[in-house]
Structure 1
Amino acid sequence: MAELSYVTLNEPMRSVQQKSSVLMLLHGVGSNERNMLPLGNGADPRLGVISVRGPLTLGTNAYGWFQVSFAASGPHD
């Protein structure tokens, strides 16, 4: 398992009496936390944006949230 890694784009705006909103971005199988950054750049600037890397290392810069195998019939776990 890979160490938890994440990237933040915006710090949420908040005060003592105001709750913050956060958008958490999760990549797909074989991707990584940096691949989601363009989506986060388009988010409302009032949101905190966090993009998290899946814990399973599948290859170089390729991570996942669960084990999956690919066959001619498609993906299966």
Structure 2
Amino acid sequence: YDLPSPGTVTNWAKIYRRDGEDGLRPKKRGRRPVARENPVLESEVEQLRRENERLRAEVAYLGKLRALGSQQRR
């Protein structure tokens, strides 16, 4: 069977006894993917950013309105 070493079958037998067929199935290799931010949390952050932008615009508008009102009183 051209196995790399005689211990390979011994290792397979140990894994099979411990984990069953699932233990002998191929495993994913390589680096794990980078954990991405939770979509629910991401949408909440985006919602808060939009609200923050709207409130800043509102504050700027009210500030200009107040300045205009004080100029007209003079």
Q: TM-score, normalised by structure 2?
A: 0.19
Write 1 or 2 for the structure with the bigger share of strand. 1
User: Which fold has the larger relative contact order, with Cα–Cα distance below 8 Å and residues 6 or more apart in sequence?
Assistant: 1
Q: TM-score, normalised by structure 1?
A: 0.18
